[in-house]
Amino acid sequence: MIEKILVATYLVICILIGILVSRRVLNSRDEYWVAGRRIGPWINAMAIMAALASGGSILGVMGYAYKAGIPATLALFAGAVVGFPLASILVARPLRRFGKFTITDFLSWRYPNPIVRVGVPLLIVFCFTMYIVAQMKAAGITAEALLGIPYNTSLTLATLVFVLYVSVGGMLAITWTDVIQGTLMVAVVLGTAMLLMSRNGNPVEIFSTGIQAAPMLGAAGERSLLTDLGAFVIWAAAIPIIPHVVMRVYTARNANDARLSLNLAMIIYSIVILTAVMIVVPVGKILFPALDDSDQVFLKIMESQFNPVIRGLAVAAVLAAVMSTTDALLLACSSAIAHDLVANVWGKNLSNQTISRLNVIVVWIVGLIAMTLAYSPPELITAYYTDAIGALSAGLFVPVIAGLWWRRANSVGGIAAFVVGVAVYAALVFMPDLPKRSGILIALPASAVAMWLGGIVGKADSSTMVEAVGQLHRSE
Amino acid sequence: MSRGDFCFIVALLSLAVISFLPWTRNMQWAGMSMLGWMMALLMVLSPSIALLRVIKERNQSTPPREEVER
């Protein structure tokens, strides 16, 4: 009972935050999508960490390490960690100076063409819907395992809560709920590790015992090198362009704060991932050596080792991880449709009130579609959403980076890089003989070659555009 | 891009490339393949060094207090 009260309290707090900030944000696009651009570096860092540390990062990271071993898991998550310094150096400063709201804003300005204006938001919505489905599975199995609520019921409840507070509270509600959620996540993962250490010895002893009991945990495994490398590259290339991280660059007060918060976020994220993988998973492998659903390892530990209060906090933490990512993804989908597609492509003269209503409707539609898909969940959540993110990396990384840093980048090259990257990746995902997640290793170079050829063959950009891009790099 | 940022990115990517060379999969230390240890090292080093660089840059761009008061 106490677990349910703790979780209910947490959900009510999230809804209240959404309702409290709704008056302030619903009549301003700046407030709704980028929280008025005045979030400080510490708050922004916690929000970025929470947005990235999804249900995948609590349940999925442990499930993946349990099944595929620690090296493969670290290869996947190290990609994201390396991606943040790249984002901090390559995109944070120029994109913060560019202003606006979304990654599509930049690409549509840099490569003014309907393929980019329509194709990019559609790709974002498609990939993020798959990402949201994976998060929802994490919410469902957690509530089912630890609270005894049936999967479909808990899935529906969690969806209604985060759709409600995102739809009315926008980025400001997300920021404050993410700070609470991030704190809860860090506390539960580190707290669990400390409790396990108090019972099983220091981290070195736990790690050694776990590896001896299950040598596969430390082995690189029979998987292809290309699978590990592909997962690493997908995340390293995704972070500088992934919309819910880029929107956080826009919420910062200035470019320096954006860079500071990106790197702070990654230090906290690394600590959480390394603790989960090096301490919690070895204990899980010793206690439960043959789980059918490896994503359940953390929940099994909670169920067998801890009292109802800690279990309640664990459920709240996993829900927090799920919701903090899903809310950011939902807002990114909302901005992709309401701002990028409807306002920018089809109706430039819509009032703020109309756009606000549209945001609310879009968040509800995307949330409900993802919920419906999550009733039949994917098998391994981390692998599932990594595949979806790969499509974004393949299509957007080269156009964004070249658009900012290559003087010869032009519309022909940008469009070609986008189309070729997505098409090659999509074709390779369905090739059965190719090692999983290795498609990105072909799609990304193909996208770069398309950009290069477009830059050479196509008409050079106007001097005004070259000058405007140069302004994004000027010293403050 | 500053020279420091460029060198940092090159070093980061070089470490990543070395980490994925085939020998890191077979060689083990303390029961885990070197791929795992190299990835853990990357996860610690990359954000830490990047953070130090950002802080240093902020300090350099902020004038000393005496200068502001004058």
pLDDT in tens, A309-328: 888 777 777 777 777 777 77
User: What would the DSSP string read from start to end of A95-141?
Assistant: HHHH-SS-HHHHHHHHS-SHHHHHHHHHHHHHHHHHHHHHHHHHHHH
Q: What is the mean pLDDT of residues A80-90?
A: 84
User: What would the DSSP string read from start to end of A170-229?
Assistant: HHHHHHHHHHHHHHHHHHHHHHHHHHHHHHH--HHHHHHHHHHH-GGGTS--SS-HHHHH
Q: Alpha-carbon distance A395 to A415, whole Å?
A: 10
Chain A residue with CA closest to B13: the answer is A82
Share of chain A above pLDDT 90, in %: 16
The ipTM estimated for the assembled molecules is 0.86
Taken as a whole, chain A contains a residue count of 476
Closest in B12, B26, B31 to A218, CB measured: B31
Lowest-pLDDT range of A25-39, A358-372, B2-16, B47-61: A25-39
Residue-level pLDDT at A451: 94
Q: Best of A49, A70, A73, A227 to disrupt the B interface by mutation (most B CBs within 10 Å)?
A: A70
Structural domains in chain B (count): 1
Task: Report the candidate in A334, A1, A57, A25 with the shortest Cα–Cα distance to residue A185.
Answer: A57
Contact flag B35-A75 (C-beta cutoff 8 Å):
yes
Contact flag B9-A85 (C-beta cutoff 8 Å):
yes
Closest Cα in chain A, distance from residue B31 (Å):
6
Residue-level pLDDT at A420: 95
Task: Report the candidate in A182, A138, A143, A162 with the shortest Cα–Cα distance to residue A14.
Answer: A162
B26 touches chain A (CB under 8 A): yes
Closest Cα in chain B, distance from residue A473 (Å):
8
- What value does the mean pLDDT of chain A take? 82
Residue-level pLDDT at A32: 62
User: In terms of pLDDT, which residue wins out, A466 or A230?
Assistant: A230
In Å, how far are A50, A54, A100, A175, A243 from A322, measured between CA atoms? 9, 5, 27, 14, 17
Predicted confidence (pLDDT) per residue in A290-305, tens digit:
888 887 888 888 888 8
Contact flag A212-B31 (C-beta cutoff 8 Å):
yes
Predicted confidence (pLDDT) per residue in A52-83, tens digit:
776 666 777 888 899 889 998 898 888 888 88
Residue-level pLDDT at A86: 85
Closest Cα in chain A, distance from residue B33 (Å):
6
Predicted confidence (pLDDT) per residue in A197-224, tens digit:
998 888 899 999 989 988 888 887 777 7
Lowest-pLDDT range of A31-45, A196-210, A221-235, A405-419: A31-45
Contact flag A266-B46 (C-beta cutoff 8 Å):
yes
Closest in A88, A90, A220 to B35, CB measured: A220
Contact flag A85-B28 (C-beta cutoff 8 Å):
no
B1 touches chain A (CB under 8 A): yes
- Evaluate whether residue B68 is within a structural domain: no
What tokens were used for A293?
Answer: 């659903």
CATH superfamily entry for domain A2-382: Sodium/glucose cotransporter (1.20.1730.10)
Strand partners, B29: B32
B48 touches chain A (CB under 8 A): yes
Contact flag B54-A88 (C-beta cutoff 8 Å):
yes
Q: Alpha-carbon distance A459 to A435, whole Å?
A: 38
In a structure prediction context, what are the per-residue pLDDT tens digits for chain B, which is 70 residues long? 788 888 988 999 999 999 988 888 888 888 899 999 999 999 999 888 888 888 887 777 665 555 555 5
Cβ neighbours of B7 in A, within 8 Å: none
Chain A residue with CA closest to B42: the answer is A78
What pTM was computed for the model?
A: 0.83
Amino acid of residue A108: S
Looking at the predicted structure, is the pLDDT value of residue A442 above 90?
yes
Residue-level pLDDT at A34: 61
Residue-level pLDDT at A450: 95
Contact flag B9-A232 (C-beta cutoff 8 Å):
no
Strand partners, A187: none
Cβ neighbours of B40 in A, within 8 Å: 74, 78, 274, 278
Q: How many CB atoms lie within 10 A of CB A352?
A: 14
Amino acid of residue A58: I
- Evaluate whether residue B32 is within a structural domain: yes
Q: Alpha-carbon distance A296 to A287, whole Å?
A: 13
Which of the listed ranges A98-107, A127-136, B3-12, B59-68 does the model predict with the highest average pLDDT?
A: B3-12
Strand partners, B28: B33
B9 touches chain A (CB under 8 A): yes
Q: What is the mean pLDDT of residues A101-125?
A: 86
A302 within 8 A of A147, measured Cβ to Cβ: no
Cβ neighbours of B39 in A, within 8 Å: 71, 74-75, 77-78
Cβ neighbours of A220 in B, within 8 Å: 24-26, 33, 35-36
Closest in A85, A220, A278 to B50, CB measured: A85
Contact flag B33-A219 (C-beta cutoff 8 Å):
yes
Residue-level pLDDT at A33: 58
Looking at the predicted structure, is the pLDDT value of residue A36 above 90?
no
User: In terms of pLDDT, which residue wins out, A37 or B22?
Assistant: B22
In Å, how far are A98, A237, A363 from A76, measured between CA atoms? 31, 12, 29
Closest Cα in chain A, distance from residue B68 (Å):
17
- Evaluate whether residue B17 is within a structural domain: yes
A337 within 8 A of A126, measured Cβ to Cβ: no
Looking at the predicted structure, is the pLDDT value of residue A397 above 90?
yes
Contact flag A260-B51 (C-beta cutoff 8 Å):
yes
Please give the residue range of the domain that contains residue B22. 3-61
SS3 B33: strand
